[in-house]
Structure 1
Amino acid sequence: MGVVEQRFLWSSFERRCLHLLQQRNTLASIVQIHAFMLRNALETNVNLLTKFITTCASLALFASADPLAGIHHSRRVFDHRPDRDDSFLCNSMIKAHVGMRQFVESFTLYRNLRRETGFVPDGYTFIMLAKSCGLKVAIWEGREVHGHVFKIGFCSSLHVSTALVDMYARYGEMDCARMLFDEMKQRSEVSWTALICGYVRSGDMDNARFLFGQMPEKDLVVFNAMIDGYVKFGEMASAQKLFDEVPDKNVVSWTSMIYGYCHNGDAESARLLFDAMPEKNVFSWNAMIGGYCRNKQPDEALRLFQEMQSTASFEPDEVTLVSILPAIADLGALDLGGWVHRFARKRKLDRATNVCTALVDMYAKCGEITKAKRLFDEIPGKETASWNALIYGFAVNGCGKEALEIFSEMQRGRYKPNEITLLGVLSACNHSGLVEEGKKWFKAMKEFGLTPKVEHYGCMIDLLGRAGCLDEAEQLIESMPHTVNGIILSSFLFACGCSNDITRAERVLKKAVKMEPQNEGNYIMLRNLYATEERWRDVEEIKGLMRRKGVNKEAGCSVIEVGGTVREFVAGDTVCPNLEALHVTLEQLRKHMQGEITKSREVG
């Protein structure tokens, strides 16, 4: 007799209890329902008890005080039942643990049931255990599950075999996954998809492409997996071709392509796709906003964020805020940053550590280092990224000693620094001219188990160069295990200019021109150095070299936020709508400053 048929034979109490369990419950109401069951001896109804356990366990998804309170209560109820051998009941309890990512609890329960009761696992048991092992990447336990499947005789089950293929694919053990797949007498779309997704995650697009071509019937999931794989490994032409072939594209398909184009530096193509989307969700908006930030187009990110606010039917989430705050920081749009902070506080998104960290970074880069420090102190669960944001914030604001104090506090708190932490520390030393401190922490990277990257070498070379230690800086360039990049050479060239070392600057420029022939800053640096020495013939030679190389000096620009609107000013612009008023104001400022200079000279 099936479960549905049995319910027609239930008592009025049992049907009433089932009705209550089907409503939206809280932990308090579920305890009351449990009391009702005990008072009326309803726990003997296995189907009703199973429904109670699954409902109680699901409370963990939205319980505010204790996220695990629901599943802890359901497990206590399960453990107090004397006859725990019903497969439906046992599988439901195992599934509840898997749903909460409690791998140890799910596997321990299975072992205890096998050892202490007459529980006989079925195919669904092994499907849940294989899923649990795959999520946890528990290789040895997964092989134990596979052994039990073979021993009990479920190898011929399509669903169990598919679960095992997916488990091995999640481990990255593609040989085992492929062997199981090849031995399957019957395969489903899920079986094919599990193996193809495994190859995609492992970076083996050749095998993924071959299997995709062999797959008899393709669903949207496998199309999206292949698109995601092509995007991940930069094969955008293949991704676009496959995207065009997808019969019924969904938001995931479009969003993957948008992310791919943005990730590969083509924000323009990404925006065309974004505008063509028939239906958008918060993930697609986040992908495009984050893409603009990644491609150094903060003004476009800001415009899109404001468009999202005015036209979208859903609100920004944590990812949206974390994506837009770097753009706000780059533009110095402090008013908008304050609005985002208030929005996050109102929606309780400021409880998320990543949002708090992004806010700390934004305030610091906008010059509000005191506010950044205050916000940092309020973060309940600090992460290494949080410390990094504050250290770098102090660094860019010229507070080198304060940055080093925060770094010391971080070490006392036993937070493990990473490469970004040390880059912030070296930047702090660089901005404040702390040469000896910089040398100390650069050498200490090995003690932290960190290998200096080219960025760390670049920071040290800049620090030494600015301090006038040109010989030491040049020795570090020659000894570094990384290939010298244009940024390091430009930085060293600037240091040579500051020290008026023309001979060394000429030597460095030759290398810099080979690496970055279109970098106008390098030519201008040496040209200005020649001009200070009144070597006008050499100045003209540099100008001629720039003409021959087709190098043009980029116009300077500045950005300012006025009334919540970000405005950009470019040198030489003649089409600005308020040009005349701007020039009048600048002339007034010039006269005012000239008057102040005259007064100070008279006083002196």
Structure 2
Amino acid sequence: MRMVEQPYLWSSIERKCLYLLQQRNTLASILKIHAFMLRNAVETNVNLLTTFVKTCASLPLFATANPLAGIHHARRVFDHRPERDEAFLCNTMIQAHVDMRQFVESFILYRDLRRNTGFTPDGYTFPILAKSCGFNVAIWEGLEVHGHVSKLGFGSSLHVSTALVDMYAKCGKMDCARMLFEEMTERSLVSWTALICGYVRSGDISKARLLFDQMPEKDAALFNAMIDGHVKFGEMGLAKKLFDEMPDKNVVSWTSMIYGYCHKGDVESARLLFDAMPDKNLFSWNAMIGGYCQNKQPYEALRLFQEMQSTTSFEPDEVTVVSILPAIADLGALDLGGWVHRFIRERRLDRATNVCTALVDMYAKCGEITKAKRLFDEMPGKETASWNALIYGFAVNGRAKEALEIFLEMRRERHKPNEITMLGVLSACNHSGLVEEGKKWFKAMEEFALTPKIEHYGCMIDLLGRAGCLDEAEQLIESMPHKVNGIILSSFLFACGCSNDVMRAERVLNKAVKMEPQNDGNYVMLRNLYAMDERWRDVEEIKGLMRKNGANKEVGCSVIEIDGRVREFVAGDRAYPHLKSLHFVLELLQKHMKGQII
């Protein structure tokens, strides 16, 4: 903020106050400085008073138990100021409210100053107000600011006009932003960036790219904005082209590209970029670790997490642990999960609800459902996702009764269930064969203003099929508003196999083969049914159909954590170094189970 020229040399007391205000202060020390200023009557120095207001309003969180205590005291000091109309002091107070996201207070102060004092806005006032309107998408107040700008003759100011363009863009009024931009006699890089980023946010990437290509000069921030825009709309080809054209690539652009490739499922390209990065930061590591988790490659995510721990000085943050915990859950790496939990407690990251929710989910999927429940009960605040994690955790651990009890408790606590909640409830009914309970809650989705998705139908069809209600399950398939997919057909085919309904299984397989000709599980189910009936010719026909359609049986694998290391075993792997020892132990276990060894 611009200060007025000092009309006189500062006294030693004033210089001492200025020095104290520049130190690392707490609310207590600020109050002492204020008392010292009042005792020595130096609050009449407007420059010093402005510095005091700014320092007090921006006290960091560690400096006070109440994060608003600083801004409240600054406002009290401002309201009792000796000078009533100094623009830079008034601008400082308005800016302080905006920085604390107090939009209403900033605008009320501006209106009161104009109405009750001799305050005259200047070229610094309107960009502050425009920023406040943009943050809060307050278009009516923004129009008022624009009217005052025109009335007081600041429309030709590059700084003010740019702020108004950015405000209209953030409010989604791209026509107004473009009109104002076209009227500007002078434009800066910031002006172009504000309009282009507005088009990106509004989803009009073509207009954003057209403006970008017309720009006389471009900086790294604008390249990053355009790359990020193309990434968000899945245009990785255009994003890569811009990335290659970028003269000085920074860590933001590299990370945006990594995120984009991961989001598209191209983890290999993302890893190539990650490995080629000259400088990585924590955001880069988080993007790549999260990318592996999103694309169902937990082993790679875990390996990269361990590499980050051993080769860099970066400490995992909230984003890192929320990314890696699902991978730990998928692998069942409970020892590592316990280490991450201890790390979270030491760094006090367990205050964040999303971190606690990820921990509940991890423990539940690793079979430690009691620990998951205890952690859930200790959470300071719960979101819908937290309830969902515990409901689903009880469901997958075969404890349907507890899952439904948690769901009922969730409703008593007035947390509104969503589609994921109901999927967990239906899964609980499915795992325990609670057909009538499942029907009840499937129907109740209408009461919760939720429309069943194909996943909910799939869960119900699987529940009915496992319970032997094949006619009802098939009727639900035919009546559902969604197009049947391969997962539902495979599930229903499995149910036919469990009920030994060969004719129905043949009919379902014909549909499944047309949809997923290379899904080996569908063929195997019918082949086993034929084998049970000793229909060997039909068995050979199924094998021939599998060869014709290229349906090769996937190699089975399992993962186990031993002494903090995750080991993977693949079926048929004869090259494993301890294969003989493993088979010897397995044979002993088989003899124990048969009672041959006491």
1:10 alignment partner in structure 2? 10
Distance between the aligned counterparts of 1:195 and 1:320, measured in 2?
33
Query: What's 1:437 paired with?
Result: 437
2:482 matched to which residue of 1? 482
Displacement of 1:366 in angstroms is 0.3
Aligned to 1:29: 29
1:64 CA drift (Å): 5.4
Q: Is the 8 A contact 1:259 1:291 kept in 2?
A: yes
2:54 and 2:74 in contact (8 A); partners too: yes
TM-score (norm: length of structure 1): 0.96
Question: 1:247-304, CA deviations, whole angstroms, 9 ceiling, x for partnerless residues?
Answer: 1111101000110111111111111111111111110010000000011111111011
**Structure 1 counterpart SS, 2:594:** helix
CA distance in 2, matches of 1:565, 1:57: 50
* Structure 2 letter corresponding to 1:536: W
Please show how residues 202-221 of structure 1 align to structure 2 within 5 Å: 202-221=202-221
User: Is the 8 Å Cα contact of residues 200 and 229 (structure 2) preserved in structure 1?
Assistant: yes
Q: Does 1:577 align with 2:577?
A: yes
Q: For residue 354 of structure 1, what is the aligned residue in structure 2? A: 354
Cα gap change, 1:355 to 1:72, in 2 (>3 Å): same
Matched with 1:275 is 275
Query: What is the aligned partner in structure 1 of residue 246 from structure 2?
Result: 246
Q: Please tell me the residue identity of whatever aligns with 1:93.
A: M
Decide whether aligned partners of structure 1 residues 300 and 233 sit closer, same or farther in structure 2, where only a CA change above 3 A counts.
same
* Separation in 1, partners of 2:287, 2:82: 52
Equivalent position of 1:59 in the other structure:
59
- For the residue of structure 2 that corresponds to 1:420, the secondary structure is helix
Match of 1:138 in 2: 138
Residue identity matched to 1:276: A
Equivalents in 1 of 2:50, 2:260: separation in Å?
A: 45
Cα contact 2:25–2:63 (8 A) shared by 1? no
Q: CA deviation at 1:232?
A: 1.0
User: In the aligned structure 2, how far is the partner of 1:440 from the partner of 1:72?
Assistant: 53
The 1:82–1:446 alpha-carbon spacing in structure 2 relative to 1, beyond 3 Å, is farther
2:68 aligned residue: 68
1:134–1:170 CA contact under 8 A, matched in 2: yes
**2:71 pairs with 1:107:** no
| CA distance in 1 between partners of 2:153 and 2:401 (Å) | 68
Partner of 1:42: 42
Q: Which amino acid aligns with 1:30?
A: I
Question: Distance between the aligned counterparts of 1:361 and 1:249, measured in 2?
Answer: 38
Distance 1:82 1:507 in 2: 89
State how far apart, in whole Å, the 2-side matches of 1:332 and 1:64 are.
42
Shift of 1:7: 8.4
C-alpha distance in 1 between matches for 2:67 and 2:286: 27
CA distance in 1, matches of 2:10, 2:275: 56
Counterpart CA distance in 1 for 2:377 and 2:78 is 43
CA shift digits 1:520-549 (9 cap, x unpaired) = 111111111222222222111111100101
| Matched residue, 1:396 | 396
Partner SS, residue 561 of structure 1:
strand
- Give the match's secondary structure for 1:44: coil
Structure 2 equivalent of residue 174 of structure 1: 174
Query: How many angstroms does 1:4 deviate by?
Result: 8.2
Distance 1:3 1:148 in 2: 23
Q: Is the 8 A contact 1:328 1:336 kept in 2?
A: yes
8 Å Cα contact 1:56-1:74 kept in structure 2: yes
Aligned to 1:381: 381
The CA distance in 1 between the partners of 2:462 and 2:160, in whole Å, is 60
Deviation at 1:557, TM superposition (A): 0.9
Q: Given the superposition, is the C-alpha separation of residues 7 and 421 from structure 1 closer, same or farther in structure 2, using an over 3 Å criterion?
A: farther
* Mapped contact 2:3–2:88 kept (Cα < 8 A): no
Alignment of 1:256-267 (within 5 A): 256-267=256-267
1:412-427, aligned counterparts within 5 Å? 412-427=412-427
Task: Judge which range, 527-536 or 287-296, deviates more.
Answer: 527-536
In 2, the alpha carbon distance for the partners of 1:473 and 1:525 equals 18
Are positions 1:542 and 2:542 aligned together?
yes
Q: 1:5 to 1:75 in 2, by over 3 A?
A: closer
Q: How much identity, in percent, do the aligned residues show? A: 82
The answer for the alignment partner of 2:187 in structure 1 is: 187
Task: Give, as a single letter, the amino acid of the residue that structure 1 aligns with 2:553.
Answer: K
Shift of 1:37: 1.1
SS at match of 2:560: strand
Distance in 1 between the 2:187 and 2:3 partners?
Answer: 30
Tell me, yes or no, if structure 1 residue 284 matches structure 2 residue 284: yes
Match of 1:503?
503
Amino acid at match of 1:47: N
CA displacement 1:386-445 (0-9 Å, x = unmatched): 111111111111111111111111111111221111111111111121212211221222
Matched with 1:456 is 456
The 10-residue stretch of structure 1 (55-64 or 427-436) with the greater mean CA deviation from structure 2: 55-64
One-letter identity of the residue aligned with 1:195: L
Residue pair 1:60, 1:71 contacting (<8 A) in 2 also: no
1: CA distance, partners of 2:591 / 2:360: 39
Residue 602 of structure 1 aligns with which residue? Answer: none
1:5-28, CA deviations, whole angstroms, 9 ceiling, x for partnerless residues? 628711111100000111111111
Structure 2 gap ranges (5+)? none
Distance 2:230 2:3 in 1: 46
CA–CA distance in structure 2, aligned partners of residues 210 and 131 of structure 1:
26
Q: Provide the rounded CA distance (Å) in 1 between the counterparts of 2:221 and 2:415.
A: 40
**Unaligned ranges ≥5, structure 1:** 600-604
Alpha-carbon distance between aligned partners in 1 of 2:422 and 2:377, rounded to the nearest angstrom: 21
How many correspondences in the alignment?
Answer: 597
Confirm or deny: 8 A CA contact 1:60 1:68 kept in the other structure.
Answer: no
TM-score between the two structures when normalised by the length of structure 2: 0.97
Distance 1:591 1:3, change over 3 A: same
2: distance between equivalents of 1:3 and 1:232?
42
Q: Deviations over 1:50-94 (max 9, x none)?
A: 111111111144445212221122112112225432211111111
- What is the identity, as a one-letter code, of the residue corresponding to 1:506? E
Distance 1:519 1:386, change over 3 A: same
Pick which of 462-471 and 326-335 moved more: 462-471
- More off after superposition, 82-91 vs 533-542: 82-91
Which aligned runs of 4 or more in structure 1 are off by greater than 6 angstroms?
A: none
Q: Secondary structure at the match of 1:123?
A: coil
Asked if the contact 1:178/1:195 (under 8 Å) is kept, the reply is yes
Aligned to 1:371: 371
Query: What pairs up with 1:84-123 in 2 under 5 angstroms?
Result: 84-123=84-123
Cα distance in 2 for partners of 1:259, 1:557 equals: 29
The one-letter code of the counterpart of 2:25 is: N
